[in-house]
Amino acid sequence: MRSTIVATFAAGLVVASLVAAHGIVTDIEIDGEWYTSSLVFEDPYKIPIPERISWSFFGSGNSPVADFTTRDIVCNGNASAAALVAEVDAGAEITFYWDTWPESHKGPVMTYLANCGSDCRTVDPGALFYFKIDHAGLEDGEWISDQIIANNLSYTITIPEDIAPGNYLIRHELLALHLASDELGAQFYPMCANLRISGSGIINPTGVQFPGAYKMDDPGILVNIYNDIDTYTIPGPPPYNSDSEFSDDDFESVAEISAASVSVFNSSDFIASTLTKSYSALASVYTKPSTSDFKLKKSFSLSSVSVPDGSSDNFDCNVNG
């Protein structure tokens, strides 16, 4: 009888220690400005409850999202909208500080942005489209979670310089894979915060929705990390890359652009009669939506293109559609 009690007590201590070890983001540094994140074990007991830039999930504590196929995966369990908004310039750095993270909880880190439209404080986060701006996983045999622990429990991302200004929800998460060999064993720890991004960018990257972005059989979600793996596939889409316009898998290329869709300007303000596959390099700056229209995603220039009078010049290209 005594041995049973001791064993039960020991098991309880293990569970308690694991719960205590689960981490949350407690602070966010945005372009040098310091913001306290929603504190799940403190804020609910303060009068009044402090207003934060991060969404609260008081009922979930520091526990992981148990089922990533539910709405809890968006901003954590039963998340409530934040009252404040942080101002930030495109191109600025944001650092997330976690209160703790156990070494056993090895896995990747992922960060997304979603354009809220008019106001992130009143939006349904499950209706937004999130584009990934950063991720890291396993590199040279070392998990990013170990680097985060070594770096004062912090991780820094950069807001893309060329995205359009506006109100954005930033979604940041760690994924613990110590139990991921079982279905629904992967442990997600997401959080969200309200941003108002300023800048002169024009890019509105397409995105994914939560739930839906992660699948039960994704190789980065159903995985045994104790099998001495050399490579790891981070869940979700590839990050948006400002330097190369868009990630290869994000957008459908356009091989031909009709003359009706493209206006070409030089000093004589002429309209190009045709642009064919010889200019297929331009395709990377277009997306092809479900309609027949083409949408410009990034400004660009062409060089040495023949014009009607036989001369050639550098000129800008503008797409209407």
Q: Domains (ranges, CATH) in the chain?
A: 23-243 (2.70.50.70), 262-319 (no CATH)
What span, in angstroms and rounded, lies between the C-alpha atoms of 127 and 74? 10
Return the higher-pLDDT residue of 97 and 7. Answer: 97
Give 66's pLDDT tier (boundaries 50, 70, 90). confident
> Considering the chain, what is the average pLDDT of its residues?
79
Residue 52: CB atoms within 10 Å = 20
Give the mean pLDDT of 49-56.
Answer: 98
Residue 289, CB-side half-sphere exposure with 13 Å CA sphere:
10
Instruction: Calculate what percentage of the chain has a pLDDT beyond 90.
Output: 67
Q: 182: which residues sit within 8 A by CB, 6+ positions away?
A: none
pLDDT of 315 over the 80 cut: no
Which helix (H) or strand (E) segment is 134 a member of?
Answer: strand 130-136
Give 50's pLDDT tier (boundaries 50, 70, 90). very high
Residue closest to 190 by CA, chosen among 246, 237, 130: 130
pLDDT of residue 5: 37
pLDDT of 303 over the 60 cut: no
Q: Using one digit for the tens of pLDDT, what is the confidence trace for 87-132?
A: 999 999 999 999 999 999 999 999 999 999 999 999 999 999 999 9
pLDDT of 271 over the 60 cut: no
Return the higher-pLDDT residue of 156 and 286. Answer: 156
Q: 285: which residues sit within 8 A by CB, 6+ positions away?
A: 245, 296, 297, 298, 300
pLDDT of 191 over the 80 cut: yes
Does 187 belong to an annotated binding site?
A: yes
Give 267's pLDDT tier (boundaries 50, 70, 90). very low
Exposed/middle/buried for residue 150 (C-beta within 10 Å: 0-12, 13-18, 19+): exposed
CB 204 within 8 A of CB 210: no
Exposed/middle/buried for residue 225 (C-beta within 10 Å: 0-12, 13-18, 19+): middle
The first and second tokens of residue 49, run together, are: 């409850």
Does 105 belong to an annotated binding site?
A: yes
What span, in angstroms and rounded, lies between the C-alpha atoms of 191 and 197? 18
The first and second tokens of residue 287, run together, are: 């997306």
Q: What share of the chain is helix, strand, coil (3-state, %, to 5)?
A: 15, 30, 55
Q: Supply the pTM of this predicted model.
A: 0.73
Return the higher-pLDDT residue of 311 and 227. Answer: 227
Which helix (H) or strand (E) segment is 191 a member of?
Answer: strand 187-198
Return the higher-pLDDT residue of 107 and 278. Answer: 107
Does 172 belong to an annotated binding site?
A: no
Cross-strand pairs, 171: 112, 192
pLDDT of 180 over the 90 cut: yes
Q: 273: which residues sit within 8 A by CB, 6+ positions away?
A: 259, 308
The first and second tokens of residue 219, run together, are: 């190789």
The first and second tokens of residue 90, run together, are: 């495109």
Give the mean pLDDT of 190-214.
Answer: 98
Q: Using one digit for the tens of pLDDT, what is the confidence trace for 212-254?
A: 999 999 999 999 999 989 999 999 999 998 764 444 444 433 3
Peptide bond into 48 cis (omega under 30): yes
pLDDT of residue 304: 36
